[in-house]
């Protein structure tokens, strides 16, 4: 099992376009991939599950992949969040990790 923590960088939060990107990316891998957010769990294969997380900008998600390609899967999902649109550091909520400030 491989885990990573990511921060929602989009001002609109995790909405349909990003959820679709996550689902499409997740479908490329054989590993089971889930997202965890404030006690809620989403299967990355289900766009409704991902949208139901209701994750706003600045929310931290935990990505968890289990399977033969878990490292590659986790990395690919992380890249979606890291390639998000630029958000100025002063617009981020207090306590935002330095690694996610562009």
CATH value at residue 46: 3.30.1340.10
Question: Residue 74 is part of which domain span?
Answer: 2-93
Assigned domain for 100 exists: no
Is the predicted pLDDT of residue 99 greater than 70, yes or no? Answer: no
Assigned domain for 6 exists: yes
Assigned domain for 67 exists: yes
Is the predicted pLDDT of residue 14 greater than 90, yes or no? Answer: yes
**What pLDDT score was predicted for residue 22?**
95
Lowest-confidence pick of 16-20, 60-64, 89-93: 89-93
Give the separation between CA 65 and CA 85, rounded to whole angstroms: 25
Residue 86: pLDDT band (50, 70, 90) is very low
Give the separation between CA 36 and CA 43, rounded to whole angstroms: 9
Assigned domain for 99 exists: no
Q: Structurally, how many domains does the chain consist of?
A: 1
Average pLDDT, the chain: 86
Assigned domain for 40 exists: yes
pTM exceeds 0.85: no
């Amino acid at each position: 099992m491989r885990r990573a923590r990511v921060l929602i960088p989009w001002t609109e939060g995790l909405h349909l376009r990003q959820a679709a990107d996550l689902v499409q990316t997740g479908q490329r891998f054989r590993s089971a991939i889930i997202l965890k957010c404030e006690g809620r769990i989403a299967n990355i294969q289900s766009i409704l599950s991902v949208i139901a997380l209701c994750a706003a900008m600045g929310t931290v998600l935990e990505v968890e992949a289990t399977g033969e390609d878990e490292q590659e899967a986790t990395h690919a999902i992380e890249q979606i969040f890291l390639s998000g649109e630029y958000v100025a550091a002063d617009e981020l909520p207090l306590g935002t990790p330095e690694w996610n400030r562009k």
